Amino acid sequence: MMEFIDGSKVNIFSPADEKPHPPGKEENWQESYVLYWYDPKQRIAGNFRLGREANYQGGRSQFNIVVVSPAGTYRCIGNLPLRPQDVFENGFGNGDDSLRYEFDGEHIRWTLKSDDVEAQFTVELTVPPIDAHRKAGLATAESILSAHVDAACRITGTMVIKGKTCAIDAFGVRDHAWGTRDLSQMRSYRWLVADLGPGNSFVAMTFQSADNKLARLGWVIRGNKVLLASTVSTRAIISDDGATNLGGTVRMTLTTGEVFEARFDPICPTIGLDMNFIHTTFYYDSYCRVTWGDKVGFGIFESTDNIRGGLVMPEVFDGSVGTNGWHPDARPYDL
C-alpha cells in the first residue's frame, strides 16, 4: 500500500490498465508503452517504445528500437500503418512483428526480433503503477499527459546481439500513457525519471505550454511513501546543435522541507527518443548514470524543444546517433 507523506491515498492503476485501452474518437488519442534499461555489468542500455495512434492518418503504430552495447549501437525508429493484428487483448505490436509488448496478468514482457538484435525481457514492477501528476498540481496538463504512469522497474532476460547471447539484469524505467495528447501545445519539456535501486526512485517534470504557462512537478518514492515536491528546477546541458542533450541536474524542495538534488551524467552517446518530430514536437533522450548523494543508479533525462518551429529536422547532431542502422563506433563510455 502506497501513500503520500501526508497520509492521503495514492492513485494506483489496476492490473487491467497494463493492457491496451479502447481508443477514444479524437484524432489525437494515443496509447504508448516505453521501456528503458541499463545493465552496468554487460554495459548494455536501450529503449523500446510502442505507440498506437488509432485515429491518426487512418491509424498508425510508432516504434523505437535502440540498443547500445560494446558491439555498437543499433537504432530503428519509425511509423507503420496499424494493422488489425497489431492490437490484441493483452498487448500490441509495431506493425512488422519485430517488437511486441504483452501483459499476462502478472508480468510485463517485451519481445524483439530485428536485424542482428533479439531480446526477451520480463519487467518486475518495483514501483506500483501510480499517477501522482494531478496530486502534484499539474492542473493544465490534461491535453498533454492524460492517464500516465512513470515508474522505476527491474529488467531481466536475454539479448542476442550479432550472434552473442547475453543475460540481462538491469535498472529500468517505464512509461505508459493513454488518452488524448496534443503535443502542439508544448513549447519545451524536461522529463527526468530515475531508478536508484529497491525503494528509491523519483520523477521530475517541467514544461512550457503554448499559453506561456510553465508547469513544474515532481516526487520522490522511498519505500511505500510518495514525497511531493513544492519546487522543481531542472538544468539540461544542451550542445551547440540546439538539440543534443548531455544530461544535467535536478533540484527539488520536497513538501517535508528536504532539498533533493541529483546529477545525470551520460553513459553512452546520446540517443534521441525518436530523433525526429512526433507531429510538431522533437524529443531527445540522454541515458544517464544518476547520482543522488551516495546512491548511484540509472535514469533518463529527456528534453523537448520546439526547435525550428517544429517543422525542420536538424541535419547535423553533435555527439549523437541520428540515423537508423548499426553504428559500430557508438559504444558505451568507460565510466
Residues 6+ apart with CB under 8 A from 84: none
CB 247 within 8 A of CB 320: no
Is beta strand 245-254 parallel, antiparallel or unpaired with respect to 60-69? unpaired
Instruction: Supply the pLDDT for residue 100.
Output: 98
Tally Cβ neighbours within 10 Å of residue 192: 30
Task: Tell me how far apart the alpha carbons of residues 312 and 306 are, in angstroms, rounded to a whole number.
Answer: 10
Region 171-178: mean pLDDT is: 95
Instruction: List helix spans (H) across 109-207.
Output: 142-145
Beta-bridge mates of residue 271: 285, 321
CB crowding 30-50: b at 16 or more within 10 Å, else e = bbbbbbbbbbbebbbbbbbbb
Q: What is the pLDDT of residues 279-289, one digit of tens each?
A: 667 778 999 99
Number of Cβ within a 10 Å radius of residue 313: 12
- Per-position DSSP letters for 196-246, written without gaps between them: -STTEEEEEEEEEETTS-EEEEEEEEETTEEEEEEEEEEEEEE-TTS--EE
Tally of domains within the chain: 1
Q: What is the pLDDT of residues 200-220, one digit of tens each?
A: 999 999 887 767 677 888 999
Residue 308 pLDDT exceeds 60: no
Residue 187 lies in a domain: yes
CATH number at residue 228: 2.40.370.10
The answer on pLDDT for 250 being more than 70 is: yes
Examine the pLDDT at 326 and tell me if it is beyond 80: yes
Within the chain, residue ranges assigned H as helices are: 142-145
For residue 3, tell me if it sits in a domain. Answer: no
Task: Confirm whether 328 is domain-assigned.
Answer: no
Q: Is residue 16 part of a domain?
A: no
Phi, psi (deg, nearest 5) at residue 15: -55, -30
- The distance from CA 309 to its chain's CA centroid, rounded to whole angstroms, is 24
Q: Answer whether residue 324 is part of any domain.
A: no
Structural domain that includes position 111: 28-315
- How many angstroms separate the CA atoms of 72 and 41, rounded? 16
- Residue 199 inside a domain? The answer is yes
Q: In this structure, is the dihedral angle defined by the CA atoms of residues 1, 301, 106 and 124, taken in order, positive or negative?
A: negative
Q: How confident is the model at residue 311 (pLDDT cuts 50, 70, 90)?
A: low
The CA distance from 125 to 195, in Å, is: 12
Closest CA to 110 of 283, 119, 95: 119
pTM metric for this prediction? 0.89
